[in-house]
Amino acid sequence: MTDLKEYIAEMYNAAESLWGKEDAEKMMQHIEATASAVYRVGQLEIDTAIEPATRLRHREKP
Amino acid sequence: MKPYMMSLTEASNAIITGEFTPKELAESLLGRINETEPLIHAWVTINQEALEEAAKATETKPRGKLHGIPIGVKDIYYTAGMRTTMGSSIYRDFTPDYDADMVKQIKKQGAIVLGKTETTEFALHDPAPTRNPWNTNHTPGGSSSGSAAAVATGMCPTAFGSQTGGSVIRPASYCGIIGVKPTYDLLSRGGVYPLSWSLDHIGYMTRTVEDAHHMLCALTDTDKEWKKRETPPKIGVLRGYFKENAEPEVWEGYEEAITRLWGEGADMIDAPQQSSFKHVPDVHRVIMAVETAAAHEDNFRKRKPEYGEYIQGYISSGLLIPATVYLRAQRQRSKIIQDMIDLIKGYDCIVCPSSVDTAPEGLEWTGSPAFNAPWSLTGLPSITVPMGLASNKLPLGLQLIGTPYNEWNLLQVAGWCEEKLGFDTKPRDPYEPEA
């Protein structure tokens, strides 16, 4: 991934191509917040042994 | 005492002993709604047959733990034959032909659906018209806005909410009542409109912890007598992230509550946060944005202009998140869950403030879920108990968090704290906020 500023710009461009300039501008606050979270999560280093919590581990009752 | 003033447990006992009938209770609650609803706006729909159903319950033998008890149901729970709007213009005329699993369950226990309570649009952000009974210039919080305000005002003794970020605990805290968000999946989400499948929780509000225990018994078909805890608990005290983000008055109220509980004999020990905790806001945001976008994708493509501005932006940005990042967030979530469970294991529970601030002024914003989202992300059970008033006379809440499926113990500890903190949760009179 590029740096955060570039990533926000990339997400903005994707939004603009999908929904147009006006809508993309209106949702700029969401784009910034979401792109920032996505960028930081993308940077996390995680052991490959850790599986996604698509089913929460404690879902199986003891 | 007027029936509407009674707690759930008191009203239930009064019906069993014949002190009053279900019909008299329903009349009292409907009278209370007539008095206070013009100011509070907690309800989307009142069940026009509630009184008739209460009259029927009066004629029959008690047949469950909630016999003759009228209950508020958040307007994202499907109710057969009763309008269910999700707080959205898209569903303004939608009437389901079946009940959500939890609605079926309360009916099985003899309860009456009193009506449908206001919610933010699709239980996300765009606010409901509901006002806070402690000060009607302030939000009651959201998304379970109507449920919290209705219980706090005495329009019903208990009501269902749901929580994806902080939508049960925060409004309960802002309105000075008890809020319960059980372990993820303890209570069925069947028939509740999804916002984010792996984060959505069923929850409810009451005015006492004993009522919360009674309600959990009813919802899980459990026979468990409420017994006050006598032994002071061992509690892990969270600071760090919470201290950095809390408004000064919230923090002051929290430290006072901690000192008070310590003075009553509780073992109050600093609980260190693991390094994974700092990733909670980002991980929660990524998962929720993707799942909300997925849940709404079909409707959104066809009816985008009918969505409110906030949720439009939220869904649109969620649709742009790469699948690999979503899975990375779910993997990080696994680590956070395990770290949290390991942390809590050394205590009866851990605590933190229930909200960043007191109920914000105005109705445009229902407040931040920052102090609740960690427990929605981890699926751990949490309960809020009022811990006092800030200088603006708005309630502050203490949030207790336990290990998975340990609700019963958590309720006992919450009951102990409730007693020692001594907050009066009698129904609020919104016309006399200083009373």
Residue range B54-107, pLDDT digits in tens: 999 999 988 899 999 999 999 999 999 999 999 999 999 999 999 999 999 999
* Confidence band of A53 (pLDDT split at 50, 70, 90): confident
Answer whether B126's CB lies under 8 Å from B306's CB. no
Percent of chain B topping pLDDT 90: 97
Answer whether B171's CB lies under 8 Å from B160's CB. no
- Pull the structure tokens for residue A10: 């990339």
Mean pLDDT (whole number) for A1-19 = 91
Mean pLDDT (whole number) for B18-22 = 96
Pick from B57-66, B199-208, B378-387, B392-401: least confident: B57-66
Give the residue from B431, B414, B432 showing the smallest Cα distance to B423.
Answer: B414
What was the pLDDT predicted at A31?
96
A9 assigned to some structural domain: yes
Give the residue from B141, B104, B110, B82 showing the smallest Cα distance to B8.
Answer: B110
Helices (H), B183-247: 209-220, 241-245
Partner residue facing B289 (CB), from A29, A34, A62: A34
A14 assigned to some structural domain: yes
Largest interatomic CA distance in chain A: 52
Q: Is the pLDDT of residue A60 over 60?
A: no
What was the pLDDT predicted at A54?
63
What was the pLDDT predicted at B189?
96
Partner residue facing A42 (CB), from B285, B313, B325: B325
A54 assigned to some structural domain: no
Q: Is the pLDDT of residue A58 over 70?
A: no
Number of domains in chain A: 1
Q: Which chain A residues have any C-beta within 8 angstroms of a chain B C-beta?
A: 11, 14-15, 18-19, 23, 26-27, 29-31, 33-38, 40-42, 44, 46, 50-54, 56-59, 61-62
In this structure, the strands spanning B159-163 and B395-401 are unpaired
A62 assigned to some structural domain: no
* Confidence band of A13 (pLDDT split at 50, 70, 90): very high
Burial class, B130, CB count within 10 angstroms (exposed 0-12 / middle 13-18 / buried 19+): buried
CB contact under 8 A, B320 and A34: yes
Range of the domain at A13: 4-45
Answer whether B354's CB lies under 8 Å from B170's CB. yes
Percent helix, strand, coil in chain B, to 5, is 45, 15, 40
Partner residue facing A41 (CB), from B317, B332, B379: B332
pLDDT for B283-311, tens place per residue?
Answer: 999 999 999 999 999 999 999 999 999 99
The better pLDDT of the pair B239, A61 is held by B239
Looking up tokens 């699709």 gives B122
Give B221's DSSP letter. T
**B61 catalytic residue (yes or no):** no
- Pull the structure tokens for residue A34: 């979401």
* Confidence band of A1 (pLDDT split at 50, 70, 90): low
pLDDT for B396-427, tens place per residue?
Answer: 999 999 999 999 999 999 999 999 999 998 99
pLDDT for B241-282, tens place per residue?
Answer: 999 999 999 999 999 999 999 999 999 999 998 889 999 999
A-interface mutation test, from B320, B332, B333, B341, most A Cβ less than 10 A away: B320
* Confidence band of A62 (pLDDT split at 50, 70, 90): very low
Give the residue from B391, B383, B323 showing the smallest Cα distance to B170.
Answer: B383
Q: Is the pLDDT of residue B433 over 80?
A: no
CB contact under 8 A, A46 and B322: no
In this structure, the strands spanning B234-237 and B70-74 are unpaired
Distinct helix (H) and strand (E) counts, chain A: 3, 0
Q: Is the pLDDT of residue A41 over 60?
A: yes
pTM over the 0.95 mark: yes
- ipTM score of the complex? 0.90
* Confidence band of B337 (pLDDT split at 50, 70, 90): very high
Instruction: Report which residue type is found at B171.
Output: P
* φ, ψ for residue B388, nearest 5 deg: 145, -175
Q: What residue ranges define each of the domains in chain B, with the CATH number in brackets?
A: 3-220 (3.90.1300.10), 234-272+347-421 (no CATH)
* φ, ψ for residue B393, nearest 5 deg: 65, 25
CB contact under 8 A, B317 and A61: no
**B143 catalytic residue (yes or no):** yes
* Confidence band of B435 (pLDDT split at 50, 70, 90): low
Give B88's DSSP letter. S
pLDDT for B168-192, tens place per residue?
Answer: 999 999 999 999 999 999 999 999 9
List CB contacts (< 8 A) between B404 and chain A.
Answer: 58, 62
Answer whether B263's CB lies under 8 Å from B373's CB. no
Query: Please, which residues have CB within 8 angstroms of residue B37's CB and are 6 or more apart in sequence?
Result: B43, B155
* Confidence band of A55 (pLDDT split at 50, 70, 90): low
Partner residue facing A29 (CB), from B184, B313, B404: B313
* Confidence band of A2 (pLDDT split at 50, 70, 90): confident
Distance of alpha carbon B194 from alpha carbon B164, whole angstroms? 9
What was the pLDDT predicted at B290?
98
A-interface mutation test, from B186, B311, B317, most A Cβ less than 10 A away: B317
CB contact under 8 A, B331 and A52: yes
A57 assigned to some structural domain: no
List CB contacts (< 8 A) between A62 and chain B.
Answer: 404-405
List CB contacts (< 8 A) between A10 and chain B.
Answer: none
Mean pLDDT (whole number) for A5-13 = 95
A35 assigned to some structural domain: yes
Mean pLDDT of chain B: 96
Burial class, B29, CB count within 10 angstroms (exposed 0-12 / middle 13-18 / buried 19+): buried
* Confidence band of A24 (pLDDT split at 50, 70, 90): very high
Mean pLDDT (whole number) for B127-131 = 97
CB contact under 8 A, A40 and B335: no
What was the pLDDT predicted at B100?
98
C-alpha distances in angstroms, B362 versus B137, B139, B141, B161, B367? 6, 6, 11, 22, 10
Burial class, B263, CB count within 10 angstroms (exposed 0-12 / middle 13-18 / buried 19+): exposed
List CB contacts (< 8 A) between B309 and chain A.
Answer: 26
A61 assigned to some structural domain: no
A32 assigned to some structural domain: yes
Q: Is the pLDDT of residue A61 over 50?
A: no
What was the pLDDT predicted at B314?
96
Instruction: Report which residue type is found at B256.
Output: E
